[in-house]
Amino acid sequence: MKQYTVAILGATGAVGQEMIKILQERNFPVGKLIPLASKRSVGKTVSFRGEEIAIAEAREDAFAGVDIVLGAAQNAIAKEFAPAIVKAGAVFIDNSSAFRMDPKVPLVVPEVNPKDADWHSGIIANPNCSTIITVTAVNALNSIAPIRTMTASTYQAVSGAGAGGPVELMNEVEALREGRSYEPKVFSHQIAYNLIPQIGSESFEGYTTEEMKMQNEGRKIMHLPQLKVSCTCVRVPVVRSHSISVSCHFDVPVTVEQAREVIAGAPGCKLVDDLANKSYPMPLDTSDQDIVFVGRIRPDLTDENGLCLWCCGDQVRKGAATNAVQIAELLVKE
């Protein structure tokens, strides 16, 4: 099998580290791994297949000879280096939001729209984590009837805010146990024993940037340009795995039995739906793996053409790193 030179832009961050782990787990044909980060990380190493590989500085000349770049850096870094990556002839699979809504850049979830990766011009965007988990869970319903609208509430783990999120949660819990005060640094309010109903800044009519991604990215991924989504994004004191409550609305009735059947057979999904035996998707069960669990499928009592469901998925893996590696696998397969 052909071997590929793969660079990780942002190799020292949580998603970059997970990308390296998943390349190894999935036995991706890496001939040479090039971990890239800022100048202050030069001299450190990352482990890959039993070898310690030195981190190189992310510079415009760092992409010569590279086949695939997995981006795990912030928007500004992605925008800075994208021209150099494309010029070098590599394909940039970017996890930031910098290119997601660019009409010239495909936005891909391999279980949903793999063929969109075919028309890239050097850049492929990785969607938002909650969007990936949600569309993986609901896309199969489009085979019964196209989804017209969705109402969603996300319950997003603290690790979605970066490595500092779980640290802050644990520190707050310990401080409260000991009767000490703790000034939040990562989140705008105390997250321990609390919920924060804002992720992102205000974007449209009181909806945040994070909330609008579900509609805007969902339209592009599922090829539903008229899809309308009302979304509320909430940060919850869970360490890992995002959960989403979704009501899908169609132009015709879709039965619970139909939904269960297509979701059970959908790629990347696992049906976990047995209320009588208290079996349903939960963050603890979906962490550190790549399948989206779907359950609590039931009629929407406000709409005879609606269905409600609950899904959970690991936002660091399927919601970010694994999805990017899966896109790279599409390129290798072609």
Supply the residues annotated as catalytic.
129, 242
- From CA 39, how far away is CA 250, in angstroms rounded? 51
- 169: nearest Cα among 147, 142, 193: 193
For residues 123 and 331, the answer to whether their CB atoms sit within 8 Å is: no
The 3-state DSSP class for residue 104 equals: coil
φ, ψ for residue 91 (rounded to 5)?
Answer: -100, 125
The type of residue at 194 is: N
Q: Are 309 and 262 in contact (CB under 8 A)?
A: no
234 alpha carbon, distance to own chain's centre: 16
Neighbours of 265 (CB within 10 A): 11
Strands 149-156 and 228-235: parallel
Is the Cα torsion angle 204, 209, 215, 217 positive or negative in sign? positive
User: Among candidates 1, 21, 2, which has minimal Cα distance to 13?
Assistant: 21
Distance CA(23)–CA(324), nearest Å, equals 10
Burial class, 211, CB count within 10 angstroms (exposed 0-12 / middle 13-18 / buried 19+): buried
Give the gyration radius of the chain's Cα atoms.
20
